[in-house]
Amino acid sequence: MAETTLIKKVLIANRGEIAVRVIRACRELGGIDVVAVYSDADREALHVRYADEVYPIGAAAPRASYLNIERLIAVARRSGADAIHPGYGFLSERAEFAQACQDEGIIFIGPPPDAIARMGDKLKARALMQQAGVPVVPGTEPGLDDESLRRAAGQIGYPLVVKAAAGGGGKGMRIVREPSQFEPALQAAHREAEAAFGDGTVYLEKLIEGARHIEFQILADLHGNTIHLGERECSIQRRHQKLFEESPSSFMDDDLRARMGAVAIRAAQAVDYVNAGTVEFLVDPDKNFYFLEMNTRLQVEHPVTELVTGVDLVKEQIRIARGRKMGPEDGVTLKGWAVECRINAEDPYNNFLPSVGQVTVHIAPTGPGVRLDSGIYAGYEVTPYYDSLLAKLIAWGETRGEAVLRMRRALAEYKIMGLKTNLPFHQKLMDSTRFQAGRIHTSFAEEFMIMRDEDANTDRAEVAAILATLVEHQQRQQSSQIVARPKRDVSNWKWFSRWERMSR
């Protein structure tokens, strides 16, 4: 269908692998220049090196840079950007950022401010979903004080969950299994929610034991058309943070997929949603499903949907923002299976403690059915200022078994040295017979994926052997040089200063 709005330059209000991902989509669409922004800590980041124009936006701390709406809008004005893509995280689900773009006449490649605001408040979203006939987990209504929450806890029954009203990602969330745990969990959730979101409001939900976390990807255009692109299974989590995703889910059947997909579309239409979004559900062992939340942005795990549908979601976001009208032909079918491992700078043998430092070796896996979305390279400095996500490793196969075997091979090939990563966790996950059989739920990682020191010793021995081989190779290379020559940079990165646009 025809597109009516011209987008010639996109500013990416983000960093890391998602910024690189958006740059690639703009390149493939053709005719779109890319503006990148960077903090003091990100001057040498990959997204900065790939963009057409780059602008510094402040100190390393997110509030001084990537969360600074005024500076981002100022860069958009100065660069002449027609549109802003927010990526995920940072300002991607901030209604005031979408509104600021709208007020400046800049296209926000995402949903309208009102949809973000209505789905961003989890309590209001629950009430709205109930009005729309969407099933929700039993819990409390908006606006209850602590005393009312204490009374409601007894009525809901244990186990239950205390959850932040204003956010997601597991922050401000506490599981309570018995009455004696309620008060400390309530106060801890208040404090964490206030620190993370500036709003300490919480509510209660019944804990669904043995539940799966299954979400539906939706696309909605500016003309009132909404479709879904199947589901993603996101049940492998640690402290409510997703570690592994796949599409489709081995738990689903055609009837359940049709019913949940229809509900996901209804949920999006209830807030007049536009662009890409994700409706998340909890599904109990009896296949009863409940609305959890709606993420009004592109998801970290979007690549698995792209591989099984053949739809480039970032390109579709841009096309929808340009006015593309989806038609009946935009219905999609799922082909094969895709799995994704989030590769984080964390030590799985030390309670997943974040790791920082320079990436000294980065050997990326390749081969049939393997995709790597990454923002790192050998020499890249991982700092403590941002999320620990380094890369996303994705594998596709005709069947789930083939996808898992392909992922096992890719994980074995992937080498990141200089800091700790969770690669050993994912290797152990691929070897789990429970996981291979699809017998997973949201507590699976904490119950069955205990990382032991004896496993770490084996991994360290392998790392030592690889490092010894690299040192030997370097020594041989040096000894084979008859005449020492000065090092010469033959990459185009040395021209960095020629095209960098500095804000002064």
Q: What mean pLDDT comes out for the span 66-75? A: 98
Q: What mean pLDDT comes out for the span 23-43? A: 97
Is the model's pLDDT at 488 over the cut of 50? Answer: no
Strand-pairing partners, residue 246, are 233, 339
Compute the 3-state secondary structure of the chain and give helix, strand, coil in percent, each to the nearest 5: 40, 25, 40
Q: What mean pLDDT comes out for the span 24-30? A: 97
Q: What mean pLDDT comes out for the span 456-485? A: 53
Instruction: Select which of 297, 319, 324, 371 is catalytic.
Output: 297
The predicted pLDDT at position 465 comes to 56
Residue 7: band (very low, low, confident or very high) from pLDDT cuts 50, 70, 90:
very high
> What is the Cα–Cα distance from 341 to 371, expressed in whole angstroms?
11
Q: How far is CA 170 from the centre of its chain?
A: 13
Distance set, CA 305 to CA 232, 247, 366, 375 (Å): 7, 6, 20, 20
Is the model's pLDDT at 455 over the cut of 80? Answer: no
Q: What mean pLDDT comes out for the span 145-161? A: 94
Identify residue 150 by its one-letter amino acid code: R
The predicted pLDDT at position 43 comes to 97
Verdict on whether the full-model pTM lies above 0.75: yes
158 or 466: which leads in pLDDT: 158
- The pLDDT tens digits for 231-286 are 999 999 998 899 999 999 999 999 999 999 999 999 999 999 999 999 999 999 99
- The pLDDT tens digits for 315-328 are 999 999 999 999 76
- The pLDDT tens digits for 192-246 are 998 888 889 999 999 999 999 999 999 999 999 999 999 999 999 998 899 999 9
Rg (CA), the chain: 23
Is the model's pLDDT at 50 over the cut of 80? Answer: yes
Distance set, CA 276 to CA 299, 315, 352, 368, 455 (Å): 9, 11, 31, 28, 41
What domains can you pick out in the chain, each with its CATH number? 9-109 (3.40.50.20), 138-206 (3.30.1490.20), 212-455 (3.30.470.20)
Task: Check if 174 is active-site.
Answer: no
The predicted pLDDT at position 484 comes to 37
Show the 3-state SS of 441-478: CCCHHHHHCCCCHHHHHHHHHHHHHHHHHHHHHHHHHH
